[in-house]
Amino acid sequence: MDVGVTMIELPGPVRAAASDGTTVWCAVAGGIHAYTASGTPLPTEAGPGMPLPGAGAMQDVPFVTRDRPGDAEGDVPFPVRDRPGGAEHGAPFPPAAEPGARVRAGEGPGGLPELRSLAAVPGTVAGTGALPGALAGTVVVPRTFAAAPPMDSLPQSCLAGTSDGRVHWLDQDGVPVADARFTGRVLAGGGEIWAVGSSHARRLTGPGHFGEPVELPGLDRCAVEGERLWWTSTRDTLLRGGPREIDLGTRERGGMVVCAGSLWISVAGGLLRVSAWSGEPRRLVPAPEGPVPFLVCANGVLAGGGRDLFTLDPATGGAARLIGLGLDAPAGLVIAAGKHLWVFPTDRPHALIVAL
């Protein structure tokens, strides 16, 4: 497998990023910028960044939300949309922006606050069955070909982000559609997005709506697999969320992700592997580093790292391959975008793109 590394300049250091497998969204101080998986900027009608709807296009203006009195954190607020000439439910509509204006974090009417995390619903998910010559769960297929998603699942390529105390539902251009109160971050996996807090999580459904809360006392690490969450706690060494609880036997854990039909956890000396189907633990898989802060799944290829990267293809059963990045400090963020890995150095206005 030939590996190439390309560096691209960005408008600023990336605070959060996400990909649906073909598009990469990067949140910087000036807004959200979109790129192809290989790093080509995607233009919008307003140019780079997240556009506001043009003046007079009232049907395109994002929803505005407010919380009912007494709402608890994570309760669903109701969306409010103003009509021309009057306000529904007393919630004012943000004034229309000038054509070509850019939504900037925390600036101006309708602007998003600084985003702390981003997540996107992928256009492809792991296959539910095996094909000749491939391990079960390693085949990547369009979501529409996979098992039927829950009735309240988010649409393909839906984007969500978090700021202080809120979850924001965004469209494919990064324009806000709805929001709701929740303190935490968003994580994606298996065609779903979850909002994960310090002790509980809720699956995102329609704009402004959550599924039922899932309690996660003492949450340490978490990985999303569709409607299921795998998680560990700071209180013990157990892995929960699968068919049965498993004692991992170690508290020193790094990144965690579901990839190629297994749950992978970075630990000292390698990777713990647990079958996503049966919940049975497998042998320790050697890795060049561990525990590492980031583990991601790039179309069935597992990748992880901090200062450098390593990749592992479970379908071939080969050894992990090290990819030197030459960073002088661990990366601030690593995401998968189809058959590419995006590495964002801490506080640097560029990204390293690794083609697998």
Question: How far is Cα 117 from Cα 112, in angstroms, rounded to an integer?
Answer: 13
Question: How far is Cα 189 from Cα 37, in angstroms, rounded to an integer?
Answer: 18
Give tens-digit pLDDT for 167-200. Answer: 999 988 888 999 999 999 999 999 999 999 999 9
- Across 57-66, 80-89, 303-312, the highest mean pLDDT is recorded for 303-312
Question: How far is Cα 103 from Cα 174, in angstroms, rounded to an integer?
Answer: 9
Give tens-digit pLDDT for 70-128. Answer: 334 443 333 333 323 332 222 222 333 222 233 444 433 356 788 999 999 876 444 44
pLDDT at residue 112, as a whole number: 76
Rg (CA), the chain: 20
Q: How many residues does the chain have?
A: 356
> For the range 276-285, what are the long-range contacts, defined as Cβ-Cβ under 8 Å and sequence gap of 24 or more?
276/137, 276/225, 276/242, 277/136, 277/137, 278/243, 279/242, 279/243, 279/244, 279/246, 281/246, 285/312, 285/320
The β-bridge partners of 192 are 189
pLDDT at residue 75, as a whole number: 39
- Buried b / exposed e over 91-100, threshold 16 CB at 10 Å, is eebbebbeee
CA proximity to 79, closest of 242, 207, 204:
207
Sorted by sequence, the CB contacts under 8 Å of residue 34 that are 6+ apart come out as: 23, 24, 25, 26, 41, 42, 44, 173, 174
pLDDT at residue 44, as a whole number: 58
Q: 77-91, 213-227, 231-245, 279-293: lowest mean pLDDT where?
A: 77-91
CA proximity to 24, closest of 356, 335, 339:
335
Q: What average pLDDT does range 295-303 have in this prediction?
A: 95
Question: How far is Cα 318 from Cα 305, in angstroms, rounded to an integer?
Answer: 18
Beta pairing, strands 159-163 & 140-142: unpaired
Alpha carbon distances (Å) from 190 to 213, 240, 259, 261: 18, 18, 10, 11
Confidence of residue 62 (pLDDT cuts 50, 70, 90): very low
Sorted by sequence, the CB contacts under 8 Å of residue 163 that are 6+ apart come out as: 112, 113, 114, 115, 116
How many Å from the N-terminal Cα to the C-terminal Cα in the chain? 7
pLDDT at residue 159, as a whole number: 94
Arithmetic mean of pLDDT over the chain: 78
pLDDT of 279 strictly over 70: yes
Amino acid at 315: A
